[in-house]
């Protein structure tokens, strides 16, 4: 099987182009094997580029544990860059079908190479039963949660996939490896959750650390960055346009008055390979 290794701000993926042929593969098993950083290629997820009926192309995403994700913000930027540069899409505007719906994308390209990708991530899902989260309020904003004797206050947002956003004075002091899995698997989240710890720098700037559902700590998370800005606005901490600084780099997020969230950032190639 041929593949392309790509990353968006260090959030790395193995992309399989089904237009080039990839039949009879168990993708959950392939994700578990290939994403292993010691016995495989190593990645935060497996992306599939597929034909689509209601969009230019389609994206499927598998986590390193073999589970399928509904959406991936950094992954969709990588896939969009590849689809354009491989000639499957000729316009600098394109649509990508996902398990979270069809996403509109705008490309900034120079000399045939994509420099930046802007994705309309759609409107955030805030109703607790749709996130999903078992909440006491009409919206799960600054809800109380306890793990291992520690109390946090979180806001639940879905960007097609569930996120638990927790604002903290200093995110580097959060024991991410300990708190992340406990929050991901907390019974209050029926489908598990991604976990975002955010630190406010200014009303237009935050620092973010991520624990991703089915993947663990990652260098960046596009949907997490979107969810964090939405949560910051709901909690009165942020303006609707903010920079989100992650370990792998910075994303620009804008929660428009229309209700949709725009995410802008780069994508890059690492290498091309073939499994044996």
* Catalytic residue selected from 78, 164, 221, 226: 221
Helices (H), ranges, 8-156 = 27-34, 73-85
* Catalytic residue selected from 35, 72, 78, 226: 72
Question: Which residues lie below 8 Å from residue 83, measured CB to CB, with a gap of 6+?
Answer: 49, 56, 57, 89, 94, 96
**Helix or strand holding residue 223 (H, E):** helix 222-234
Tokens of 185: 């698997």
- What sign has the CA pseudo-torsion 138, 73, 145, 131? positive
End-to-end CA distance of the chain: 8
Q: Which residue has the tokens 């230019």?
A: 56
267: left (phi over 0), alpha (psi -120 to 50) or beta: beta
221 is catalytic: yes
Cα–Cα distance between 271 and 276 in angstroms, integer? 16
Q: What is the C-alpha R_g of the chain?
A: 18
Q: Cβ(58)–Cβ(40) under 8 Å? A: no
118 is catalytic: no
Cα–Cα distance between 90 and 100 in angstroms, integer? 24
Cα–Cα distances in angstroms (integers) from residue 50 to residues 16, 248, 250, 256, in the given order:
9, 28, 29, 30
Catalytic residues: 72, 221
């Amino acid at each position: 099987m041929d593949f392309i290794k790509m990353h968006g701000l260090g959030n790395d993926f193995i992309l399989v182009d089904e237009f080039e042929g990839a039949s009879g593969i168990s993708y959950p098993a392939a994700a578990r094997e290939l994403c292993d950083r010691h016995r495989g290629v190593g990645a935060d997820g497996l992306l599939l580029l597929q034909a689509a009926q209601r969009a230019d192309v389609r994206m499927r995403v598998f986590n390193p544990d073999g589970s399928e994700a509904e959406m991936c913000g950094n992954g969709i930027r990588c896939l969009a860059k590849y689809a354009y540069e491989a000639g499957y899409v000729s316009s600098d505007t394109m649509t990508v079908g996902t398990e979270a719906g069809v996403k509109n994308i705008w490309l900034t390209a120079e000399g045939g190479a994509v420099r930046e990708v802007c994705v309309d991530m759609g409107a955030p899902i805030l109703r607790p039963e749709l996130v999903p989260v078992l909440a006491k309020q009409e919206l799960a904003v600054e809800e109380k949660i306890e793990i291992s004797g520690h109390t946090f206050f979180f806001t639940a947002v879905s960007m097609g996939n569930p996120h638990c956003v927790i604002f903290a004075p200093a995110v580097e002091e959060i024991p991410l490896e300990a708190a992340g899995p406990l929050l991901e698997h907390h019974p209050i989240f029926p489908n598990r959750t991604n976990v975002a710890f955010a630190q406010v720098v200014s009303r237009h700037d935050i620092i973010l650390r991520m624990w991703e559902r089915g993947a663990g700590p990652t260098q960046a998370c596009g949907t997490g960055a979107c969810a964090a800005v939405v949560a910051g606005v709901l909690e009165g901490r942020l303006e609707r346009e903010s920079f989100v600084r992650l370990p792998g780099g910075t994303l620009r997020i804008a929660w428009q008055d229309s209700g949709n969230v725009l995410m802008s950032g780069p994508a890059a190639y690492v290498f091309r390979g073939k499994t044996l």
